[in-house]
Amino acid sequence: MKAKDFYNEMIAAYNVGAAIPSVDANGAAVDLKDYRGGCLFVATVQDSLDTLSGSVYIELEIEESDDDSTYTDVADADLSNFVAGTNDGTFAKIIASTMVSNIYKCQYKGSSRYVRAVINVTGTHTNGTPLQISSLKLGPMIAPAA
């Protein structure tokens, strides 16, 4: 049995670099033209520099667009996993110190050409929470030569 060629089946894209957000932030657009597998988002969240709670928290969401100009929340059904959040398309709601130092992931399965990660902060985040979100475009229609 031949091993799966993940090197050529997934293309890394940068979304939200290492950041310590204390306000809402939008990630870079990921262009899914010619990719049939959607996009996998991986968020690495470090120890928070603030005390997180039911009124001071972070939500990680995915938005989509057909024109890379107007973005809307992804329908929960278009994510491999979602959690209840302020908006549709939420894949992590980080409300306690037990939820940091963790990795969160989800796969976008919708049909829009562009997607991006969004960081929504609620409450006062004086110091922020270090995090990074990377994305992998999945299933190129024409794979690069091995």
pLDDT (tens, 9 = 90+) of the chain, 146 residues, equals 454 555 555 566 656 666 788 889 999 999 999 888 889 999 999 998 899 999 999 999 999 999 999 999 999 999 999 999 999 999 999 999 888 889 999 999 999 999 999 999 999 999 989 999 999 988 887 766 55
Residues 6+ apart with CB under 8 A from 115: 29, 30, 32, 39, 62, 63, 64, 65, 74, 108, 135
Domains and CATH numbers, the chain: 6-138 (2.60.120.1110)
Residues 6+ apart with CB under 8 A from 52: 58, 94, 95, 96, 97, 99, 100, 129
The predicted-structure confidence for 65-99, as pLDDT tens digits, reads as follows 999 999 999 999 999 999 999 999 999 999 998 88
Q: How far apart are CA 122 and CA 117, in angstroms?
A: 16
What does pTM read for this prediction?
0.87
* Phi, psi for residue 99 in degrees, rounded to 5: -100, 0
